[in-house]
Amino acid sequence: MVREIEPSLNERAFVLEALKQGRRVDGREVYDVRPLSITLGSDYGHVEVHLGKTKVVAIVSAEVIRPYADKPTEGILIFNTEISPMAAPTFESGARSEEEVLISRIIEKSLRRSRAIDTEGLCIVAGEKVWQIRVDLHFLDHDGNLADCASIAAITALLHFRRPDVTVSGEDVTIHPIDQRNPVPLSIHHIPICVTFAFFDNGELLVVDPNYLEGQVKEGDMTITMNSHKEICALSKAGGIPLEMDQVLRCSQIAIIKVTEVDELIKKVLEEDKAARKARK
């Protein structure tokens, strides 16, 4: 594994001085998010998201398995993250880095623990057969803020995904191929979206959507997961400088605006894909 190159003292000073003047090294304002693009694949549940130069691909799949003994009427939602050396040379193939573990926890808290997905709707036969929905997240380019990019890719892929329809007749369970019967969308209660903030100068300065260099120079960060109903689904902070309550409230107010913008883009992309598929029939 290649050792990460630390930014020089001059780079650190330049980033901090620019922020004090309300500017960032990539030309953005402090509250600006990098350009976001969402591309849906021809297969349901295949999504590619670009957040600036950061790129994540999400692929959703489903299989029928036996449910957990303590949750016989609930399906299972699992996430798998893979950061390869393709994303950045500092990552090692087959080894989970500290950053990858942290991102996995954020995605788990944001999507699974927030109960965004109706897992009871994934039950086929209680205690015997349920759907297991698997979300594979592949990180292809790392230019900072992998968590936000991954969360957008994951929830969009889940919204886009369609599982095969199922017929239950007595003890017989029939899974219909998608080319014979229209597949079924997942039941999703709300759309949680992550917004990450980085802090500098003892917390006096903050930016939204830190890029790679800002992520190296930051003194701390915080990820707020929120939906369009202005409900905070999760709040993640892994070390760094302590924050006052007014700083957290300030970030939550900024997150409301950013989440609304991303939510609208996701819905727009999904509607365009739906219309395009309908036109091709």
Average pLDDT over residues 138-153: 94
Choice between 182 and 281, residue whose per-residue pLDDT is larger: 182
How high is the mean pLDDT of the chain? 91
Q: How confident is the model at residue 145 (pLDDT cuts 50, 70, 90)?
A: very high
Find where tokens 């087959």 sit.
94
Choice between 94 and 228, residue whose per-residue pLDDT is larger: 228
Q: Residue 123 corresponds to which tokens in the numbers above?
A: 């039950």
Average pLDDT over residues 243-253: 94
Predicted pLDDT of residue 3 = 58
Predicted pLDDT of residue 82 = 81
CATH architecture of the domain formed by 20-280: 2-Layer Sandwich (3.30)
Q: What are phi and psi of 68, to 5 degrees?
A: -65, 145
Predicted pLDDT of residue 152 = 98
Per-residue pLDDT tens over the stretch 66-90: 999 999 999 999 999 887 766 665 6
The letter for the amino acid at 89 is P
Per-residue pLDDT tens over the stretch 88-139: 656 666 556 677 788 889 998 899 889 999 999 999 999 999 999 999 999 9
Model pTM score: 0.92
Name the residue among 48, 257, 27 with its Cα closest to residue 157. Answer: 48
Predicted pLDDT of residue 200 = 94
Predicted pLDDT of residue 53 = 95
Predicted pLDDT of residue 78 = 94
Average pLDDT over residues 2-19: 83
Predicted pLDDT of residue 85 = 67
Q: What percent of the chain has pLDDT over 90?
A: 74
Average pLDDT over residues 205-221: 94
Predicted pLDDT of residue 101 = 84
